Amino acid sequence: MLVYRTTTQPSSDRSHSRATMTASKAPQNILIHIIRRDLRTSDNPLFHAAATAPDEEKFDAYLPLYVFDAQQIDVSGFIQSAGATNPYGSPRSQVAGYHRCGPHRAKFLGEAVWDLSETLKELKSGLFIRVGRIPDVVETLVSELAKKDAKIGAVWMTSHEGSEEKADEKAVASLCKKVGAKWKLWVDEKYFIDDRDTGLESIDKLPGVFTEYKKKQLPLREKPRPVLPPIEKGSLPPLIDAALVAPQSFPFHIPDSLDRLVEFLVAPVKDFLPNKPEYPKGAESAHPYQGGEHAAIQRLKDLISSGAATTYDATRNGLLGTEFSTKLSAFLAQGCITARQVHAAMDSFERGTDPAFKDVEGFGALTKEEGMSEVEAQNTGMESIRTELLWRDYMRLCHQKDGNRLFQLTGTLRYKLDHAADMMDGMASITAQNGHNSENSDTGDNGAASAASDGDGSAQEKKLKSPDKERARSQQGSGINESLLAKEWKSADKEKALPRQSPTAEEVAKILERFNLGTTGMGLIDASQRELLHTGYTSNRARQNVASFLAKHLDIDWRYGAEWYEMLLVDYDVSSNWANWQYVAGVGNDPRGHMRIFNPVKQGFEYDPSGSYVRTWIPEVSGLEKLENAFQPWTASKEELEKTGLSGNDMVANPVKRIQFVVEGKPRTNKNGGFRRALARGNPSKTSQANGNGSGFGNGSGNGYRNSQDVRTDAPVVNGTTRGPRGRGGFRGSFGGPPRGSLGGSRGGFNGNTNGSPSPASNQGNGILAPGYGRGRGGGRRGGGGGYGAPPRGGSQNGYFPPAKMPRVNGSGNHDQVNGNQN
Ligand SMILES: Cc1cc2nc3c(=O)[nH]c(=O)nc-3n(C[C@H](O)[C@H](O)[C@H](O)COP(=O)(O)OP(=O)(O)OC[C@H]3O[C@@H](n4cnc5c(N)ncnc54)[C@H](O)[C@@H]3O)c2cc1C
């Protein structure tokens, strides 16, 4: 029997005394703590419980374990013996055969694991890092410990979504049973609302629409549980003597530095795409962050102190730079931080309890706004971040409810069809509510997920209120009917493609290659795909467009896109990725499912109004002056193409899709005067304000129109024509009236003014017109809308033309087709 040495134990009083007690024999009550996507020590219930266990429950040795899971990551880089092969093989996705984890996330993960190991050392503990499959590794550890007369008291791990994760949990549980160790599966507490506080009787009762779920959780700011206290140095049980722990099994080798770890992880996947386009000169990643708890906490602090969190509402649809959204997703996905830590930090700002944020506007507002409840006085940007975090919760709950339906081509449609009547009840209550509540903005603003209530509530509502549940099955308004299941998705797999599929499977494979490389000829899509390739990140706005393009413009099996994202996203999360793809593909929880189609050209005009995003990531088009040419190079003149060296380029000669897009020079008006009335029905009389901020942001105040994306982004393309939106009451934000004078096509900011009268244009000269933002409390509602300016009179198409007038998509099917064999 090996003697249990105390020399390597933590030196705190507490651990020292425990270590001394067991100095002469192998530990008999070891805690194995398996860490997966909970790579943090703070606000982690398992570390907390291990550190604060009462005397009678204390463990005499602690074995924190992280396993690089060979079923999700290619671990062949850990093989250092010449000639040895990886017994697990290279994990590949099911539909397309892509790597499961690409270089960006592999690096981020390595950094996060290393950071945890360093933090544990600081706490006078440590981390055992292994490679393989979790059940195999645990089995080896247990049998090695048994050989040395050491005994496992318990095995802990956090419950995670995913069939592979669940299978691992089951395997470890049965191993525990075999060796008589206690098995404990902990609730995953990295979400905004704790699973035990959602009020759901069972997961089957999860509403099929986000808005309905959110409604049940309001007010959001009161829902998260408090953050757990930090772990004190030396408070964890004594770290097990490494000599008792089975070493890494052959042929893998665990490196002893962060650089080597990252190198081992990235090596097998770094050349996943041999013909990858060059990294564009001067392009900066929107996600330059390292993995790990330290970086996560720093990012959170920076977000608040820079003011980015408070302006989030207005900036979140940005495309370039680090500050347009939180960039917390990758940290959240790996559990480097919890959503409730994010909430707590924002709350400390709003309450004015953390002096680190004292110089930021809005500090302590919660305690200063007299006559307002906390919910009313909370910061608008932070309120929106809370909603986004709830979206994340919701996507995970959908995964819990839907299980492997998440990975099926027809998604949740079959299930929904079978449960249509029940769902109608849920939706009826939402639309009924929205009929009189204009502040349904939360529904839209994950962007990916503008929910049913963003749409044409009135028509749908009537139908949904029908008492005849059976009729619900065939209701068009519900978006659920058998014909949706019959959609003919195109496949790149000859075996799976339908007999007369057009384009053919080979052609689809080529289209996919171009889609992945970002050479389709659709600017916004290509820019996003290249940004993803190079950095592992792309914005939510871009993700929605990319997913919609693949699933709804090209009708290609959306899972190719989801798997590409799985490989490349630094923030990949099984629930968020697959549920969002389903949502956008129209087979998930978007009540307007198949009807919502993003027009990527119009989205370019709206969200990349200076074209800087597209020009940054697709340097080939940077010389094209006109915006519409940058968004679709084939629209450029012959001379322009020759001048920029683009003649003959595939993006020009053979774009994957052409969208005829005409930008009108004037806002659309109707004879009642004012385009706004043509756009919005409902209750535009309640005033909300949009206060602009800084250069390029519009100052608007007016009748409370919602900002552009909600009305127009989702305008369906029908027979090559973009149908105008059906607005609803109480839209946020404001549209500007036409500015006086011509701006000659410059792209400065405009002052929005919803009275439709001319107002002076302010051309700030930065070439960017971004949505205005602000916050109004008219009638107790938010007014954080668009504040878009109207187009300059006589301006050229280089100007940013606001969404107020619907850009027209002219054209017949043959201008709006997939170039497979049709061109
Ligand atoms: C097709 C598609 C695939 C996606 N795949 C993923 C994924 O694999 N992992 C992932 O974390 N997010 C995914 N999203 C959601 C969203 O795009 C990202 O969370 C967001 O862009 C990350 O940037 P951020 O942290 O700056 O987000 P912010 O805008 O700052 O939002 C704050 C946080 O809220 C959460 N969040 C925001 N939007 C969503 C959403 N729609 N669904 C779930 N959570 C959300 C994220 O945790 C995010 O960090 C996907 C969206 C789409 C449309």
Q: What is the pLDDT of residues 629-685, one digit of tens each?
A: 999 999 999 999 999 999 999 999 999 999 988 876 533 333 332 222 222 222 222
pLDDT surpasses 50 at 181: yes
pLDDT surpasses 50 at 361: yes
CATH code, domain with 114: 3.40.50.620
Same domain, residue pair 609 and 626: yes
- Tell me, what's the pLDDT at 423? 57
Same domain, residue pair 235 and 341: no
Same domain, residue pair 453 and 521: no
Q: Which two tokens stand for residue 552?
A: 């709804």
Residue 438, in any domain of the structure = yes
Q: Is the CB of 547 under 6 A from ligand 1?
A: yes
How much distance in Å is there from the Cα of 516 to the middle of ligand 1? 20
Nearest Cα residue to atom 11 of ligand 1: 329
pLDDT surpasses 90 at 89: yes
- Tell me, what's the pLDDT at 421? 63
Mean pLDDT value across residues 103-121: 98
pLDDT surpasses 80 at 2: no
How much distance in Å is there from the Cα of 325 to the middle of ligand 1? 10
Q: Which residues, including other chains, have CB under 8 Å from residue 332's CB and lie 6 or more apart? A: 190, 338, 339, 342, 392, 571, 573
Mean pLDDT value across residues 608-616: 97
pLDDT surpasses 90 at 542: yes
Same domain, residue pair 656 and 673: no
pLDDT surpasses 80 at 776: no
- Tell me, what's the pLDDT at 696? 26
Q: What is the pLDDT of residues 5-41, one digit of tens each?
A: 222 333 333 333 343 344 458 999 999 999 999 999 9
Same domain, residue pair 684 and 541: no
Q: Is the CB of 394 under 6 A from ligand 1?
A: no
Closest CA to 335 of 47, 533, 583: 47
Task: Tell me which of 616, 641, 660 is where a domain ends.
Answer: 660
- Minimum mean pLDDT among 16-25, 32-41, 130-139, 359-368: which range? 16-25
Same domain, residue pair 360 and 387: yes
- Tell me, what's the pLDDT at 813? 28
Same domain, residue pair 438 and 516: no
Q: Is the CB of 152 under 6 A from ligand 1?
A: no
Q: Is the CB of 548 under 6 A from ligand 1?
A: no
- Minimum mean pLDDT among 73-77, 494-498, 770-774: which range? 770-774
**Pocket perturbation via mutation, ligand 1, pick of 540, 556, 569, 598 by most ligand atoms within 8 A of CB:** 540
- Tell me, what's the pLDDT at 759? 30
CATH code, domain with 620: 1.10.579.10
Residue 560, in any domain of the structure = yes
- Tell me, what's the pLDDT at 484? 77
- Tell me, what's the pLDDT at 25? 85
pLDDT surpasses 70 at 800: no
How much distance in Å is there from the Cα of 182 to the middle of ligand 1? 36
Closest CA to 392 of 597, 217, 156: 217
206-234 b/e (C-beta count within 10 Å ≥ 16 → b): bbbbbbbbbbebeebbebbbebbeebebb
Q: Give, for 669, the enclosing helix (H) or strand (E).
A: none
Q: Is the CB of 563 under 6 A from ligand 1?
A: no
Residue 66, in any domain of the structure = yes
Same domain, residue pair 48 and 149: yes
Nearest Cα residue to atom 43 of ligand 1: 392
Mean pLDDT value across residues 362-388: 92
Q: Is the CB of 580 under 6 A from ligand 1?
A: yes
pLDDT surpasses 50 at 283: yes
Report the atom number in ligand 1 closest to the C-alpha of 385: 32
- For residue 593, the enclosing domain spans 505-660
**AA letter at 220:** L
Q: Is the CB of 578 under 6 A from ligand 1?
A: no
- Tell me, what's the pLDDT at 182? 97
How much distance in Å is there from the Cα of 785 to the middle of ligand 1? 21
Same domain, residue pair 413 and 303: yes
How much distance in Å is there from the Cα of 333 to the middle of ligand 1? 10
Q: Give the integer Cα–Cα distance in Å for 536 and 571.
A: 8
Same domain, residue pair 114 and 161: yes
Closest CA to 491 of 65, 16, 197, 95: 95
Q: Is the CB of 326 under 6 A from ligand 1?
A: yes
Mean pLDDT value across residues 34-51: 98
Nearest Cα residue to atom 47 of ligand 1: 329
Report the atom number in ligand 1 closest to the C-alpha of 448: 53
Q: Is the CB of 333 under 6 A from ligand 1?
A: yes
Task: Tell me which of 660, 683, 702 is where a domain ends.
Answer: 660
Confidence of residue 204 (pLDDT cuts 50, 70, 90): very high
How much distance in Å is there from the Cα of 249 to the middle of ligand 1? 37
**Pocket perturbation via mutation, ligand 1, pick of 105, 302, 327, 329 by most ligand atoms within 8 A of CB:** 329
Residue 813, in any domain of the structure = no
Residue 738, in any domain of the structure = yes
DSSP state of 225: P
Residue 499, in any domain of the structure = no
Q: How many domains does the chain have?
A: 4
- Tell me, what's the pLDDT at 502? 96
Q: What is the pLDDT of residues 298-352, one digit of tens each?
A: 999 999 999 999 999 988 889 999 989 999 999 999 999 999 999 999 999 999 9
Task: Tell me which of 253, 268, 283 is where a domain ends.
Answer: 268
Same domain, residue pair 601 and 700: no
Give the count of beta carbons closer than 10 Å to the beta carbon of residue 84. 13
Residue 703, in any domain of the structure = yes
Residue 220, in any domain of the structure = no
More confident: 419 or 388? 388
Q: What is the pLDDT of residues 726-765, one digit of tens each?
A: 322 222 222 222 232 222 222 222 222 222 222 323 322 2
Confidence of residue 595 (pLDDT cuts 50, 70, 90): confident
- How high is the mean pLDDT of the chain? 77
ipTM score: 1.00
How much distance in Å is there from the Cα of 576 to the middle of ligand 1? 7
Same domain, residue pair 233 and 136: yes
Closest CA to 803 of 739, 740, 743, 714: 714
